[in-house]
Amino acid sequence: MMTAAKQAVQYAAHQLGFSALGVAPALADQGNTLQNWITDGQHADMEWITRHLPARLNPELVLPGVRSIIMLTYDYPRQDARKAPGCVARYAQGEDYHKLLATKLADLDETLSFYGGKQRCFSDSGPVSERFFAARAGLGWIGRNGLLIRPHGGSYCFLATILTTLELPCDSPMPNRCGKCHRCEQACPTQALHNSSCDARRCLSFWTIEAKSPIPPEIRAAQGYHLYGCDACQEACPWNSPRSNCNIAIDPHLLMLAELTTLSPQRLSKLSDNEFEKLFAGSPIRRIGLPHLQNNVDSPLFGTENGAT
């Protein structure tokens, strides 16, 4: 019965565009990695992580009676669509993935309900250690940049999670295949990577997306052309080479609008509130707000210093 349920959800996930599915036991031992990362202060000012730490370490607090955690991957573009100066992280170049995947997860929830399961579904939106469970479910391994890396597909993917009360057959983890490679660590503009984790206090993705305070001078000096997020560690990873990813289908909803590909930093620095809302209405970039985006652009490298409004 449970094998049939897993096969059904695998088939449905494939039809919905997910690139892989794996199952991990809900009560798998997560060790002290996350707790140590927080104790060291590497989460910076992201206090929402500490508020939900008990739930992240115990899925029973998220869904009572949970038995299995289904992890899925959904690929996003590997190529940078930007033609104007200013890098935007690949994952944020198209539509907001939270909304895109929420509808698909609702369909999978319905499939599992047919077999008697109760579910909670998330895509980077709930108190779940997604990368840990994705690795435990055999979808890949945690690389030196702290991201899930897959032998076929690399790290350019979203993770989605389904907690279910069904006890589904679990998949086996795969070995770490980073070997002696340290290219991601060497490529990081701010030296934020060490021991297979990322120190948010030094990470450009944190400062250009999550931070509530201005970018410190030391980080600003290393910002380069990063407008929103940073893909430096992914760009350097051999598992993300074009040869490894030549047959991967990309959802057209995740492609950047033509107008945004040519939007210059100078134009961004002068956007009105209404123009910002119109341009980024369906984008994950919208959530950081216009002042934060313009602060990211307010750099001598872009020729817009003190020009943001």
pLDDT score at 249: 84
Distance CA 16, CA 104 (A): 6
pLDDT score at 307: 41
Distance CA 48, CA 210 (A): 11
pLDDT score at 298: 82
Catalytic, out of 45, 107, 109, 124:
124
Nearest alpha carbon to residue 260 among 239, 282, 245, 230:
282
From first to last of its 309 residues, the chain has per-residue pLDDT tens of: 789 999 999 999 999 999 999 999 999 999 999 999 999 999 999 999 999 999 999 999 999 999 999 999 999 999 899 999 999 999 999 999 999 999 999 999 999 999 999 999 999 989 999 999 999 999 999 999 999 999 989 999 999 999 999 999 999 999 999 999 999 999 999 999 998 889 999 999 999 999 999 999 999 999 999 999 999 999 999 999 876 566 788 999 999 999 999 999 999 999 999 999 999 999 999 999 999 999 999 877 776 554 443
Question: What domains lie within the chain, and their CATH numbers?
Answer: 2-76+95-164 (3.40.109), 183-238+256-302 (no CATH)
pLDDT score at 308: 40
* Dihedral of alpha carbons 275, 98, 73, 47, sign: positive
CB atoms within 10 A of CB 47: 10
Distance CA 280, CA 293 (A): 11
pTM above 0.75, yes or no: yes
Q: Is 124 a catalytic residue?
A: yes
Nearest alpha carbon to residue 97 among 295, 241, 250:
250
pLDDT score at 304: 56
Distance CA 190, CA 171 (A): 36
- 3-state per-residue secondary structure call for 116-156: CCCEEEECCCCCCCHHHHHHHCCCCEECCCCCEEECCCECC
